[in-house]
Structure 1
Amino acid sequence: MTENLLWPPRYRQPTDLPDIEAVPLADRGLPESTYALLSRAATLWPERTALTVLPEAARWREPARRTFADLLADVHRYANLLRELGIRRSDAVALMSPNCADLIPATLAAQLAGIAAPLNGGLSRDYLHELLRRSGARVLITAGPELAGGTWETAQALAPELDAILVVRPTGAAGEPAPLPGIEGVRVGYLDELASGMDSSTFAGDPPRASDLAALFHTGGTTGIPKLAAHTHANEIVNAWAIAANSVLDADSVIFAALPLFHVNALVVTLLAPLFKGQQAVWAGPLGYREPALYGQFWQIVEHYRIAAMSAVPTVYAVLAQCPVDADITSLRYAAVGAAPLPAAVRESFESHTGATLVEGYGLTEATCASAASLPDTPRPDAVGQRLPYQQVKVLRPGTWEELPPGETGILAISGPTVFAGYVVGRDEHGYVLDGLGKLADGWLDTGDLARIDEDAFVYLAGRAKDVIIRGGHNIDPAMIEDALLAHPGVTAAGAVGRPDTHSGEVPVAYVTLAPGAETTEDELLEWASDHMPERTAVPKTVTVLDALPMTDIGKPSKLALRADATRRAICEALAPFRGVEVDALIEDGTVVATVTVPSEVDESEVKGILGQYAIPSRIEVRP
């Protein structure tokens, strides 16, 4: 490896990007694979702490720790067990568990022996069955009854499709584990116990190459059942390197990790990127940011472990901005935010409350993880960041796909070494059959997002060309909600959209029309949707009955009009205490803009403060 070219001399200003790219990526000497990256870290810093994993928020002073040498040894043991179970380079290993100390090396071991296929255990069993079928995984690494009872029940329900179920225990679990039930035709056992006799010094098979598949990540279900996006080792290595290359953080900087490992951000940003510089990662308990008790302890955790950086979604920072700072948090250099629009009020309240810079980023599973990132020293609040090194971005005119000049708004497209290999659409004698399914053209990825780009390659999002609903960073396919409501005998049409929400960014709501004479209420339809929804986060907050769903001029359903109505209702509800305030939601250049008219006796600043809690454009007009 060409270590002297691995890192650019400086990467913390917008003007540093051309200097970085003056060195060809191939000359950087990046590791061949995630395994090679870990091996390098274990060679350079064998006794340095790599992982500090908290059992839960209440026990944050009782972590499990692994050095880089320990981590590599565990990866060897787990990968050799997988090999003994028949896993080879083109075989997927499914992983379905909340975060815990053993899941981290298990994920890296799956990428060493075969291909990791992380699963969100919160998906419906029908979805999980389909994802297992598409991946072809016959081995499942999963949470046992001590760690997550519901996940363990789901794992047993999936057993007929599996050859082996390997169980992980809670972080720091003591004593003998509970006996596991026998399942006919399936090898069932505790991962660490079964791997105890395996060689920890080396991997018995051939190591992966850069072009080999490393992982299959489900996309979040933006178009029906989630797709499986295939990432190569090169995809993940280049993306992790670009994140680690930022010279704001040094080798002693500690990273806080709390997103689930079935999310690409957790893998790339908080697991792989720290391996490049030998940084310690402190992992939260199994519930991560979803554990309410974490917030009461959070600033003490930051002080104790000297946390320098963290990554989360806007809802997390909205909560932290309300938590009293009861510790010395001067170690916190910056907090990264992505996955959902960032309300200006959340930025302002978090930064004024903590003194730490909140920096936005942008990415998607089909481009591995991150494609744009803000620079802490030179923030541009309206941008989601500058494109990352060696990735290219452009905007295209919808319909004609003509490239537009800087400053004009169009469909954002990305190319470069992090663009995924394609979606899994089948298997043949050579392995997985991959297809871009219309998202790839001449190496360019159609993100489906509207954006403009400035002369410095900073990206400014301008809404979504797709109709996906993003609730707290989680993608929800509106078709899932619509299909559930259309199954009701009285419903003739359905449309689901996101309604602005101060906590989650947006929440799903639905609109329906009814057959003549249908006797059902909005409350009954809401209960029906709840009972028939395959994913709990997708259950709509409201169901509204309309005489007809709005249509475009050419007769297609108008989701924009529904979003405008949902926006108007949300803002009306928020501003209800102010007498005489009028709210409208207008569609301007494909974006919903909340327009609020206030009488002169109403305090305009109070209204502005409420509007600032929503990640939507708005304006205020004062009525004499």
Structure 2
Amino acid sequence: MNIANWLYQTALSWPARPALYQGDILRQTYSELLQAVCSRATWLRDQHGIRSGDRVAVFARNAPEYIEVLHACWWLGAVVVPVNFKLHPREAEWIIRDAAAALTLTESGTVFVAEDGIAEAKLAAPVANQGKISAPEPVCTQALAWLFYTSGTTGTPKGVMLSHDNLRHMTLCYALDVDAAQPDDHMLYAAPMSHGAGLYMFAQIRAGGAHLIPASFGFDCEEIIGLAETRGNLVFFAAPTMVKRLIAAAKQQGYAGDGIRTIIYGGGPMYAHDIDEALACFGPRFVQIYGQGESPMTISVLPRDLVADQTHPRWKARQASVGIAQGAVKLAVLGTEGEVLPAGHTGEICVQGPTVMTGYWQNEPASAQALKQGWLHTGDLGHLDEDGFLYLTDRSKDVIISGGTNIYPREVEETLLAHPTVFETAVIGEPEPDWGEQVVAYVVFEPGSSASEAELDSWCRQHIAAFKRPKRYVAVPELPKNSYGKVLKTDLRCRTGAEAAPA
């Protein structure tokens, strides 16, 4: 089944329902959205030669046309390659080439020079109304729909292959476990649509609810509070750091959450103090999910009643968990030999079910490593309690999560090591009140060489996305290592904020 059939059916059943807002302005009803999608699909096919199975990359901020383009691609049986807009164009280019994208849609249509050989068009390019409405192309359930690039500790992006069936089961889990979508909802896209927020659109489409693109195209506390008051019934995904910022703004204004129906949070640790403040300010409007690109948004869930419940004897411990397995998946904590560990024992969190990716794009070794003996190995460490609640106790990878976005230390380290004055470097995360974590680089210079913090920062800005660059550079004479020469990042985390001098 083509996942785009849900839009087709909804538009035929309830054509006059509001479909797409930009801020407070209604842009399209469902019948108008259907027409726009069919016209844009014709444009992709006739003007750019897009056919079933072709990859189409989208490298842009949230925009009303984003939803049109996603469905236009699926209408043709093509594959969407959503690229994080915060990436440096050089990083985006690597993904586009690896995916062998037939077309890349960007805001300006001029991000990449023609000599690079990347076919590029403007996301919001005017498209003539074709008049003809037709059903989406039939595809098999395992056909590729969403090719999402994530990174491992090596910093090498891997293309997560998600099928139409993966997305369908993810959406059914959402409706069953996370939040029952309603026709009068407004799904707000404050987090990037290139990630999980974009995948949550399907439940809203199936229910015939509205989609709301902020006028700011992103996360703005004042705007969200205003839209909650004017539109009402807001539902949106937010990283814990976004929730913290929203609660801080709400407390300043004396706003208590009226007009917000559900906030789904995940993508990083939600600290106990922060969720306590959020509940005190907004009440039971919060749902926690745990997932990853390889099982999108769908591993475990802590429903709103369990987030807010203080009657159970172990309520505080449960609130610190990431909840119970979502309805379509099976959870287990496995030991080093692949054995299922009993409750209370820490091991690798593994999952199986119809939401699990089909593999990594053209990367058999990585696929074989992640998908073993019927399980997706998440790379995260944790344990289950006797009631089936899952607790994340550590990350087996040294991933830094800042503002809900993963930052991979080795990528930053390799960038710094390319600087002519840098001999060794180690990158870690340190707690930061607004963003969860921030990047810190410990640097050992070549003998007789040095560089200022400004010089190192300028170097990073030239080579990687701005959000990945270190917020602090610390010069040290040497890095702590064990007898095998491995850098002891645990020691560095203990030293962060101590007497080491800035670069």
1:299 aligned to which of 217, 221, 225:
225
Deviation, 1:460, is 1.1
Corresponding letter in the other structure for 1:39: Y
Find the residue that maps to 1:466 and give its secondary structure: coil
Rounded Cα–Cα distance in structure 2 between residues aligned with 1:52 and 1:220:
33
Residue identity over aligned pairs, in percent, reads: 28
Contact 2:62–2:189, Cα closer than 8 Å, also in 1: no
Deviation, 1:525, is 6.0
Deviation, 1:53, is 2.2
Q: Does 1:564 align with 2:491?
A: no
1:414 aligned to which of 344, 348, 351:
351
1:131 aligned to which of 95, 100, 123:
95
Residue 187 (structure 2) aligns with: 255
Deviation, 1:153, is 4.1
Rounded Cα–Cα distance in structure 2 between residues aligned with 1:198 and 1:161:
30
Rounded Cα–Cα distance in structure 1 between residues aligned with 2:20 and 2:351:
33
Contact 2:189–2:198, Cα closer than 8 Å, also in 1: no
Ranges in structure 1 where 5+ consecutive residues have no aligned partner: 1-31, 55-60, 145-151, 170-189, 427-432, 571-624
Rounded Cα–Cα distance in structure 1 between residues aligned with 2:115 and 2:361:
22
Deviation, 1:435, is 5.7
Corresponding letter in the other structure for 2:133: S
Residue 43 (structure 2) aligns with: 81
Residue 209 (structure 1) aligns with: 140
Deviation, 1:415, is 0.9
Q: Does 1:231 align with 2:162?
A: yes
Rounded Cα–Cα distance in structure 2 between residues aligned with 1:306 and 1:510:
44
Q: Does 1:115 align with 2:71?
A: no
* CA distance 1:125–1:254, shift in 2 (3 Å): closer
Rounded Cα–Cα distance in structure 1 between residues aligned with 2:215 and 2:21:
11
Q: Does 1:67 align with 2:53?
A: no
Find the residue that maps to 1:420 and give its secondary structure: coil
Residue 313 (structure 2) aligns with: none
Rounded Cα–Cα distance in structure 1 between residues aligned with 2:471 and 2:61:
26
Deviation, 1:258, is 1.3
Rounded Cα–Cα distance in structure 2 between residues aligned with 1:97 and 1:248:
29
Q: Does 1:35 align with 2:4?
A: yes
Corresponding letter in the other structure for 1:382: A
Residue 314 (structure 2) aligns with: none
Corresponding letter in the other structure for 2:270: L
Corresponding letter in the other structure for 1:161: G
Corresponding letter in the other structure for 2:247: A
Deviation, 1:328, is 7.2
Q: Does 1:318 align with 2:274?
A: no
Rounded Cα–Cα distance in structure 1 between residues aligned with 2:114 and 2:348:
40
Deviation, 1:223, is 3.0
1:519 aligned to which of 449, 453, 462:
449
Contact 2:272–2:320, Cα closer than 8 Å, also in 1: no
1:90 aligned to which of 24, 43, 53:
53
Rounded Cα–Cα distance in structure 1 between residues aligned with 2:38 and 2:89:
31
Find the residue that maps to 1:561 and give its secondary structure: helix
* 1:389-440: CA deviation from partner (whole Å, max 9, x where unpaired): 111111112x3332211221111111111111111127xxxxxx89615111
Coordinate RMSD, CA, aligned: 2.5
Rounded Cα–Cα distance in structure 2 between residues aligned with 1:478 and 1:74:
42
Residue 321 (structure 2) aligns with: 383
Deviation, 1:388, is 0.9
Residue 490 (structure 1) aligns with: 421
Residue 432 (structure 2) aligns with: 501
Find the residue that maps to 2:442 and give its secondary structure: strand
Find the residue that maps to 2:304 and give its secondary structure: coil
Corresponding letter in the other structure for 1:414: V
Contact 2:197–2:236, Cα closer than 8 Å, also in 1: no
Deviation, 1:507, is 0.7
Contact 1:334–1:357, Cα closer than 8 Å, also in 2: yes
Find the residue that maps to 1:235 and give its secondary structure: helix
Mapping for residues 37-52 of structure 1, pairs under 5 Å: 37-52=6-21
Residue 167 (structure 1) aligns with: 122
TM-score (ref. length: structure 2): 0.89
Find the residue that maps to 2:331 and give its secondary structure: strand
Rounded Cα–Cα distance in structure 2 between residues aligned with 1:446 and 1:552:
28
* CA distance 1:333–1:120, shift in 2 (3 Å): closer
Rounded Cα–Cα distance in structure 2 between residues aligned with 1:536 and 1:104:
26
* 1:211-245: CA deviation from partner (whole Å, max 9, x where unpaired): 11001111156532422111100111110121122
* 1:536-589: CA deviation from partner (whole Å, max 9, x where unpaired): 1111112222333222454422222222323x559xxxxxxxxxxxxxxxxxxx
* CA distance 1:392–1:473, shift in 2 (3 Å): same
Contact 1:222–1:476, Cα closer than 8 Å, also in 2: no
Corresponding letter in the other structure for 1:500: P
Residue 157 (structure 1) aligns with: 113
Find the residue that maps to 1:562 and give its secondary structure: helix
Rounded Cα–Cα distance in structure 2 between residues aligned with 1:469 and 1:391:
27
2:469 aligned to which of 539, 555, 575:
539
- Comparing 224-233 with 502-511, which one deviates more in the overlay? 224-233
Contact 2:237–2:264, Cα closer than 8 Å, also in 1: yes
Residue 310 (structure 2) aligns with: none
Q: Does 1:450 align with 2:381?
A: yes
1:272 aligned to which of 193, 202, 206:
202
Rounded Cα–Cα distance in structure 1 between residues aligned with 2:115 and 2:69:
19
Rounded Cα–Cα distance in structure 2 between residues aligned with 1:350 and 1:547:
44
Deviation, 1:490, is 3.4
* 1:243-298: CA deviation from partner (whole Å, max 9, x where unpaired): 122465543333322122211x12222x1121222222322135311xxxx32233
Rounded Cα–Cα distance in structure 2 between residues aligned with 1:369 and 1:377:
19
Aligned residues, how many?
A: 484
Rounded Cα–Cα distance in structure 2 between residues aligned with 1:254 and 1:207:
29
* 1:36-92: CA deviation from partner (whole Å, max 9, x where unpaired): 2222222332221222222xxxxxx3x233222222222222122222232222210
Rounded Cα–Cα distance in structure 2 between residues aligned with 1:326 and 1:200:
50
Contact 1:509–1:542, Cα closer than 8 Å, also in 2: yes
1:423 aligned to which of 348, 360, 363:
360
Deviation, 1:461, is 0.7
Find the residue that maps to 1:42 and give its secondary structure: helix
Rounded Cα–Cα distance in structure 1 between residues aligned with 2:227 and 2:344:
42
Corresponding letter in the other structure for 1:44: S
Corresponding letter in the other structure for 1:122: K
* CA distance 1:334–1:325, shift in 2 (3 Å): farther
Rounded Cα–Cα distance in structure 1 between residues aligned with 2:347 and 2:11:
45
Residue 289 (structure 2) aligns with: 361
Rounded Cα–Cα distance in structure 1 between residues aligned with 2:377 and 2:493:
23
Deviation, 1:485, is 1.9
Corresponding letter in the other structure for 2:321: A
TM-score (ref. length: structure 1): 0.73
Rounded Cα–Cα distance in structure 2 between residues aligned with 1:158 and 1:444:
43
Contact 1:333–1:356, Cα closer than 8 Å, also in 2: no
Ranges in structure 2 where 5+ consecutive residues have no aligned partner: 308-317
* CA distance 1:249–1:134, shift in 2 (3 Å): closer
Contact 1:258–1:284, Cα closer than 8 Å, also in 2: yes
Find the residue that maps to 1:500 and give its secondary structure: strand
